[in-house]
């Protein structure tokens, strides 16, 4: 082995083995891709199963396409492409390391989002919940949390987003939440 090969070999080893036990914020891109793809596949399966209820909405004759045809087609395409992506990911030889930065914020966002959706669906009060959710996320991702100026900016930003949502959906499209 010449010097260049040794350096290249050592670099590959150091990229694949964590240097310290505290490298929690660094993820393997292959593992992350597989987890996200499995989640996408699960969404596709749930979406496909939910299209079964669309048959009862219309009375299509056997030769016609019913209400569930196009959504079912989209679900099958989503599942097929997800399976292809999983195979492609498994066949990759090398995997990059992804630095998540502050992984605690990512986990907090992942936990807070389904809670927000659950509360919105089962409790209602879209605008109040959305204000709290957006304000909370902006506050969470801010470095200077104790500044009154930043709190005022957060309130203005969150309120502006909600006004834009109301004008676009409530006034222009006449969709109520």
Give per-residue pLDDT as tens, 68-112.
788 899 999 999 999 999 999 999 887 777 776 777 888 889 899
- Tell whether the model's pLDDT for residue 11 goes beyond 70: no
The span from the CA of 40 to the CA of 19, in Å, is 32
The span from the CA of 165 to the CA of 171, in Å, is 9
Flag whether the pTM goes above 0.75. Answer: no
Other CB atoms within 10 Å distance of the CB of residue 102? 11
**pLDDT attached to residue 15:** 47
Phi-psi region of 124 (alpha: psi -120 to 50; beta: other; left: phi over 0): left
Q: Please tell me which residue, 10 or 39, carries the higher pLDDT value.
A: 39
In the chain, the DSSP E strands lie at 26-28, 97-99
Using CA atoms in the order 94, 100, 106, 110, what is the torsion angle rounded to 10 degrees?
Answer: 0
């Amino acid at each position: 082995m010449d010097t260049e090969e040794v350096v290249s070999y050592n670099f590959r080893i150091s990229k694949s083995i964590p240097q310290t036990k505290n490298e929690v914020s660094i993820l393997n891109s292959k593992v992350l891709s597989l987890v996200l793809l499995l989640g996408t596949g699960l969404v596709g399966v749930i979406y496909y199963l939910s299209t079964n209820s669309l048959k009862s909405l219309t009375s299509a004759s056997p030769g016609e396409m019913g209400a569930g045809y196009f959504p079912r087609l989209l679900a099958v395409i989503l599942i097929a492409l997800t399976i292809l992506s999983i195979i492609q990911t498994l066949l990759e030889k090398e995997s990059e390391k992804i630095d998540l930065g502050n992984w605690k914020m990512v986990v907090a966002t992942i936990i807070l989002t389904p809670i927000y959706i659950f509360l919105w669906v089962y409790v209602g009060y879209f605008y109040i919940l959305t204000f709290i959710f957006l304000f909370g996320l902006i506050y969470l991702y801010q470095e200077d949390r104790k500044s009154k100026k930043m709190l005022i900016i957060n309130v203005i930003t969150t309120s502006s987003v909600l006004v834009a949502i109301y004008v676009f959906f409530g006034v222009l499209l006449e969709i109520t939440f």
